[in-house]
Amino acid sequence: MSKQNIVIIKYNAGNIRSVSNALKRLGQSAEITDDKEKIARADKVIFPGVGEASTTMEYLNGNGLSEIIPSITKPVLGICLGMQLMSKHSEEGNTDGMGIFNNSVVKFKAQNEKHRHIKIPHMGWNRIFDLKSDLFDSSLEGDFVYFVHSYYMPKGTETVSTTDYGIPFSSAVQHNNFFATQFHPEKSGSVGERILRNFLKL
């Protein structure tokens, strides 16, 4: 795979270094930056995140990143909180997102007596099904990936991967050049590496 100009968006969220290290294992280096011109010029942009929605969105708004991200025309990959902030709205902190994906984010809760044992956050390994994106090889159907989240995006027209945790939810979505995963590919072993590699091939 040829070297690419890859940017990881820098903001007040965790797991950025782990994403950078995952790319290094694939033979690619990435610049971690909040420079809007560098982000706009990149071949690939990764928007990771571990944190709280409202304070993170406030940071993005204050630094102009919430304006530049939706305008990117090259492939963009949002991860976990990054995916949620690309939605229309999140129940976490009653936060308006960037509206890239035409769906909102809600909190896990027990749907009925049968699911009252559901633990929040949804943390650990779970399967991905109904794969419908170039992010995924068909052979990844039913494989395990790693999740850590209390909020989720319900299934919708942009859903390209489904996971079940008491109810089915969107474990990945896609709209045009914007891709996002609720799970952490950088923490999902060889399956996650294949997904990242597929993103780099786009």
Q: Hey, which residues are catalytic here?
A: 80, 184, 186
- What is the per-residue burial (b if ≥16 Cβ within 10 Å, else e) of 58-85? ebbeeeebbebbeebebbbbbbbbbbbb
